[in-house]
Amino acid sequence: MKILIDTNIVLDFLLQREPFFQDTELLFQEINVGQVVGYVTATTLTDIFYISPRHTRSVKQARQAVSETLTVMVICPIDRAVLESAFNSGLSDFEDAVQIFSAVTQGLDAIVTRDVQGFVNSPVPVLSVQDSLQQVGKQSRGGG
């Protein structure tokens, strides 16, 4: 299963934000063992570097967070076509639209987010972390 991980999910994991950390840790375990191929947009990395120091008070930890993301995730490029598709989509949240059209361009199976409602018009299926873990579990048991 190839999934785009929303920026907040990555931050929940890297910053161990409660009450979300336990589920995101399970998702990242699935990525580490190869049950899931995790994708993030290139803009997620800049967001991580911008947001992490506000929580950790450490640029060194922000650099570590970006490094870990680069090691584990496939990075979706953000080019003019993705940006124009997102801009012209009519979606009110441009950041979400960029992630949606990155997932479309990459041919991904789903987007995993806490903000399922924010992605309501996505042509790519949108899952919560819990739903994605259930789907991965079904696939690993041969259930499709």
What CA–CA distance (Å, rounded) separates 81 from 1? 25
For the whole model, what pTM was predicted? Answer: 0.88
pLDDT of residue 98: 94
DSSP per-residue letters across 37-89: EEEEEHHHHHHHHHHHHHHHS-HHHHHHHHHHHHHHSEEEP--HHHHHHHHHT
Predicted local distance difference test score (pLDDT) of residue 65: 82
125's tokens? 């299926």
| Structural domain boundaries in the chain | 2-138
Q: Domain 2-138 in CATH: superfamily?
A: 5'-nuclease (3.40.50.1010)
Q: Check residue 70 and give its pLDDT.
A: 87
Residues of the chain with pLDDT under 50: none
- Read off the pLDDT of residues 21-53 as tens digits, 9 standing for 90 and up: 999 999 999 999 988 999 999 989 888 888 877
